Chains A and B, each alone.
Chain A
């Protein structure tokens, strides 16, 4: 009997070892797309450093990037959930501006900034909830519903604020500012919040029932419904999650640029850059699969490319050309990964 037990233990241990080995290869396999973008990112960084070592070996450029990059990261991560559920949200930048307006107007009126931030997040979540209801209850296609919401919010903010900027410089050096936009040494705190957002999104997507449900719903809607997943609730929650992120990103944006100013036109560029981050990170539009880590790397790559091109001595007009090139190359490489 002890021999048998020993044999069984050895078998179990072997199985465990194989599983852990498989765990590493599985991780590499699951994140193949994200990792390939990461390799492109590293190569690009090396090229930038070789081309312009003075700039790219100086911490100031990284400080500047780490102040603005978190806004894109916070926006991109929840979008993965919506896209994996086979929907899309094109209203998120307008929602962010709307939430920022709520934050700026209330904080200027003398309200406690922490309370104002909560209000901004609630406002963002409410817009997300309305988007979700339009899609799952009324049955509108998400691309159309959220385009409508984008115009509605842009008009509302422009009309409501009279396109008058609200300066937020009075917040500098307050405990609130230091919590969300201060520095630890020379390191911008915003980036820590971006990493917190990354960890939350990864936990939800990879280890929580919500992530599991989202993937199943995007993969096979009918089957998910038959298996008892509340498809409507799951999809609505994904839109609400984007809304919450819009509220938080709005506040981060206000604290980073120290003003609220609804610039017509520029939101579309940000929207496309954030969506591109998700796609080049390796989340396809076909639903069912996606990668949070990929979206994070995608956002970093695009932001560094933008800075790198300008710092490499090319004019700003070339930025979009190279961004487009990187996006097309990344998507083409994903296609090859898929067919393997």
Chain B
């Protein structure tokens, strides 16, 4: 149990008759790491991160934070432990400034509730620089709506970083982004890791996962089927593994169809 920030043991979750997760074991190391969570639609990725964020309660299994077993795991407890989930677009108020978005709901104020704007702008500038946001056009007092998709994600990452997230969960951050924009997000994530935050990077895209992650975890029909360190595999090997899984799925489907007919 030592040296692990988060550990899930034998986690199962069903929705009615559908089993979303079956006896899943998952962990995040104590030192910052980036974990790519890959899987097809319905593989159980969303269920797993919702359990980590405290939105879903597992049917059975145990959750440990820094080796300590957590009872009655919830959104509040998850946040208090330093787990921040970053949802694309949904997380930002588009017409507000970068600084206002970073400090949304947790503004730096004096005792009368007046916002310390100068301090907020300075902190926002520093944070954006920390994650490698180098735009010369936009500053911390620019509206988020003017930023590109990747830069917007950067704002959400900066927010998680400011509030000292131990673990950031990025839910498909590169969907619908160009290659350059996706690369920006990878840079932001690497900088966040240097800043001390671990990251779970959820994606359909094996190449993105391989590029950015220290460790890749593949989920299939509620089970972890592949778990490998980046240095022990190649992207070609990962693709082969995924193809095998897809073929097996095809066989299973064929079997079900044959049984039905």
Contact = CB atoms under 8 A, between A and B. Distances in A.
Interface stretch (A95-103, A143-151, A203-211, A246-254): A203-211
B96 A26 contact: no
A227 B104 contact: yes
Nearest to A219: B93
A216 B117 contact: no
Majority SS at the chain A contact face: helix
Interface string B111-122: 001110100010
Contacts of B139: 19, 22
Contact of A26 (B106, B109, B114, B141): B141
A222 interface: yes
Of B92, B93, B121, most buried by chain A (CB within 10 Å of CB) is: B93
Nearest to A220: B93
A215 B93 contact: yes
25 contacts: A22-B139, A207-B117, A208-B113, A209-B107, A209-B109, A209-B113, A210-B113, A212-B115, A213-B105, A215-B93, A216-B100, A216-B104, A216-B105, A219-B93, A219-B96, A220-B92, A222-B90, A223-B91, A223-B93, A223-B104, A224-B93, A224-B104, A226-B91, A229-B104, A229-B105
Given A26-B141, A207-B117, A210-B113, A219 B95 contact: yes
Interface in B93-136: 93-96, 100, 104-107, 109, 113-115, 117, 121
Nearest to A226: B91
Of B90, B104, B114, B121, most buried by chain A (CB within 10 Å of CB) is: B104
A288 interface: yes
B94 A219 contact: yes
Interface in B137-178: 139, 141
B137 to A, nearest CB: 12
A238 interface: no
Interface string B76-96: 000000000000001111111
Q: Ordered nearest first, which 7 A-B pairs have the shortest CB separation? A: A227-B105, A219-B93, A228-B105, A220-B93, A288-B95, A229-B105, A227-B104
A216 B115 contact: no
Interface in A257-297: 288-289
A223 B86 CA distance: 10
Contacts of B96: 215-216, 219, 288
A224 B92 CA distance: 8
Interface in A297-312: none
A322 B107 CA distance: 44
Contacts of B114: 203, 207-209
A158 to B, nearest CB: 40
Nearest to B159: A227
Of A26, A212, A226, A289, most buried by chain B (CB within 10 Å of CB) is: A212
Contacts of A219: 93-96
Nearest to B99: A212
Contacts of B105: 213, 216, 224, 227-229
Contact of A288 (B90, B93, B104): B93
Chain B, interface residues (CB within 8 Å), range:
20 to 34
Contact of A289 (B95, B115, B121, B141): B95
Contacts of B109: 209
A32 to B, nearest CB: 13
A19 B118 CA distance: 10
Contacts of A216: 93, 96, 100, 104-105
A206 to B, nearest CB: 9
Contacts of A19: 121, 139
Contacts of A226: 91
Contacts of B107: 209, 212
A201 B205 CA distance: 49
A223 B100 CA distance: 13
A220 B121 CA distance: 21
Nearest to A217: B93
Nearest to A223: B91
A212 B101 CA distance: 10
Contact of B115 (A208, A223, A288): A208
A209 B109 CA distance: 7
Of A26, A222, A227, A288, most buried by chain B (CB within 10 Å of CB) is: A227
Nearest to B117: A207
Contacts of A203: 114
Of A26, A215, A216, A229, most buried by chain B (CB within 10 Å of CB) is: A216
Contacts of A22: 139, 141
Nearest to B139: A22
Given A288-B94, A288-B96, 9 more contacts: A19-B121, A22-B139, A209-B109, A215-B96, A219-B93, A223-B93, A224-B105, A227-B104, A289-B95
A226 B100 CA distance: 15
A228 B92 CA distance: 13
A15 to B, nearest CB: 9
B76 to A, nearest CB: 10
A207 B105 CA distance: 14
A22 B136 CA distance: 13
A223 B90 contact: yes
